[in-house]
Amino acid sequence: MYKIAVAGTGYVGLVAGVCFAEVGHKVTCVDIDEKKVNVMKSGVSPIYEAGLEELMQKNYAAGRIDYTTDYESAYKDADVIFIGVGTPEQPDGSANLSYIATVARQIAESIEKDCLVVVKSTVPIGTNDKVEQFIQDFLVHDVKVEVASNPEFLAQGSAVQDTLDAERIIIGTESKWAEELLMNIYEPFRLPIVSVNRRSAEMIKYASNDFLALKISYMNDIANLCELIGADIQDVARGMSFDDRIGSKFLNAGIGYGGSCFPKDTKALEYLARQNGYELKTVKAAIDVNKDQKAKLYKKASKRLITFNGLKVAVLGLTFKPGTDDLREAPSLENVPLLLEQGADIYAYDPVGVENFARVHPEGKNGKGSITYVSHIEHALEGANVCFIFTEWGEVKAITPEMYNNLMRTPLVYDGRNIYRVEEMQEAGVEYHSIGRKPATREGIKESKKLELQTPIS
Ligand code: UDX
């Protein structure tokens, strides 16, 4: 078993640290935020992630994991140091590597024995070479240090499961020593390991994420065409999915991908290509489609309603996907300001994302409109003129078509996640617009409500 230090306790660092402890390694997680460190020591996870807190508590009690701000003591005699700090996107699309540089400097000044530094953060191709050079330049003690790449493929909401039961581990090394050391660290996981050189490992991460982003954008593009020609994207996806070469995953059209990885990694690779004098047309197309897709529902609804001024608008789901409280690049962040600008009175529901969202949009009057957070979906729907579904939470899926008809003032639903069958909404008398499918028209809507929906609400 090895002595491991992990720099950064976000999704990548904390989950990796906890999982290394779970398989028996001795782990110290380092973060600059003292408050966060104390919270973690008390057994509370700073992020919402299924199963994480239980493993934190179990491994802390067993003495296999600890948290500290004292990087020197954590790094000085570590066998391996994993770097899992953020590489946020900069305005030009490039990745901000300043957190990596800070940690690299701290490592160089702290290590007192031979050590392998493993970069888990997603970094532009060639960064690992630079990190190695940087650490060597600033080394204080006469020790051997090498840098390896070990990109992380976990998805938020299933991060622990994705790590303990990953489909593959990618390791990118430049020496037998580094390769064997990393193989040994991962041995207890009993997972397939793909060992390549450093640059290929860095590229595998971007190429994988960008391929998935492309797959989603492709389906969104086809969905938009389906609407125009009267095809149904879900039937189309089902038909495609039986082809093993295409596969059944990531064929869901919707209001565009969000999260910390796809938006950032597509832009970063496109930027990297540009820097190298190459136009990465496929990835650029994925980025463009995604940008348009996010405002798609809003545009559809604005045509239908003319104005949102004074309307009660139910918003179901704020996070970029279910199972996480993360809002990064969430479609809600794009659509809610548009609705507020138009004077909408928003009633928003999300099982875990409200706290984060309220930091950006505090409850109350907001520009021409207002926002109220509710803890029951029914309170959002009661008397609402229109409803937007941005995240496919289980709680949202549990709302029956009849409930929209019964609770809303006018049962008009814009669903960015294709949760319902068009027919069931039609039968329940709900006017329903989704992505890549025909709408459910207002036929069958109760007479009293029908009147109000006859013409655009203005
Ligand atoms: C992703 C990758 O899956 C993971 O391997 C990588 O390491 C980090 O980025 P994550 O961003 O956490 O993980 O979530 P994921 O489940 O992949 O979803 C990303 C976005 O794509 C979400 O906004 C989701 O709603 C959207 N999506 C996904 C679709 O629109 N359609 C789909 O079919 C699948």
Beta bridge partners of 201: none
pTM: 0.92
Count of Cβ atoms closer than 10 Å to residue 104 Cβ: 25
Q: For the segment 219-236, what is each residue's pLDDT rounded down to a tens digit?
A: 999 999 999 999 999 999
- 326 lies in the same domain as 396: yes
Q: For the segment 100-142, what is each residue's pLDDT rounded down to a tens digit?
A: 999 999 999 999 999 999 999 989 999 999 999 999 999 999 9
Q: Which domain does 382 fall in, by range? A: 295-453
Share of the chain above pLDDT 70, in %: 97
Q: Is residue 458 part of a domain?
A: no
For residue 384, the Cα-to-chain-centroid distance in whole angstroms is 29
Q: Rounded to whole angstroms, how far apart are CA atoms 287 and 268?
A: 11
Note the pLDDT of residue 89.
85
Q: Rounded to whole angstroms, how far apart are CA atoms 352 and 257?
A: 19
Q: Is residue 102 part of a domain?
A: yes
252 lines ligand 1 (CB under 6 A): yes
Note the pLDDT of residue 418.
98
Angle between helices 127-138 and 198-229 (to 10 degrees): 140
Q: Which residues are catalytic?
A: 261
Q: Is the dihedral of CA 351, 300, 287, 92 positive or negative?
A: negative
pLDDT, mean of residues 242-248: 97
- 350 lies in the same domain as 437: yes
Count of Cβ atoms closer than 10 Å to residue 87 Cβ: 24
Domain count within the chain:
3
Q: Which residue has the tokens 């701290």?
A: 106
Best substitution site from 320, 324, 335 to test ligand 1's pocket, by max atoms within 8 Å of Cβ? 320
For residue 195, the Cα-to-chain-centroid distance in whole angstroms is 26
Count of Cβ atoms closer than 10 Å to residue 305 Cβ: 21
Q: Is residue 122 part of a domain?
A: yes
- 39 lies in the same domain as 178: yes
For residue 18, the Cα-to-chain-centroid distance in whole angstroms is 20
Does the pLDDT value for residue 312 go beyond 50?
Answer: yes
- 84 lies in the same domain as 159: yes
* Antiparallel, parallel or unpaired: β 364-366 and 369-373: antiparallel
In the DSSP assignment, the letter for residue 65 is E
Task: List Cβ neighbours of 166 (8 Å cut-off, separation of 6 or more).
Answer: 153, 154, 189, 191
Q: Rounded to whole angstroms, how far apart are CA atoms 172 and 150?
A: 6
User: Of 196, 229, 262, which residue is a domain's last?
Assistant: 196
The residue that leads in pLDDT, 456 or 399, is: 399
Burial 257-279 (b: 16+ CB within 10 A, else e): bbbbbbbbbbbbbbbbeeeeeee
347 lines ligand 1 (CB under 6 A): no
User: Of 147, 164, 196, which residue is a domain's last?
Assistant: 196
Q: Is residue 169 part of a domain?
A: yes
Q: Could you give the 3-state DSSP secondary structure of residue 337?
A: helix
Does the pLDDT value for residue 95 go beyond 90?
Answer: no
Q: For the segment 424-449, what is each residue's pLDDT rounded down to a tens digit?
A: 999 999 999 999 999 998 775 666 56
Does the pLDDT value for residue 404 go beyond 70?
Answer: yes
Q: Rounded to whole angstroms, how far apart are CA atoms 199 and 52?
A: 31
In the DSSP assignment, the letter for residue 245 is T
Nearest CA to ligand 1 atom 9: 261
390 lines ligand 1 (CB under 6 A): no
Joined tokens for residue 119: 């970069």
The number of the ligand 1 atom at minimal distance from the alpha carbon of 259 is 11
153 lines ligand 1 (CB under 6 A): yes
Q: How far is the CA of 448 from the centre of ligand 1 (A)?
A: 41
Best substitution site from 170, 206, 261, 435 to test ligand 1's pocket, by max atoms within 8 Å of Cβ? 261
Share of the chain above pLDDT 90, in %: 91
Joined tokens for residue 350: 């999300």
Nearest CA to ligand 1 atom 26: 257
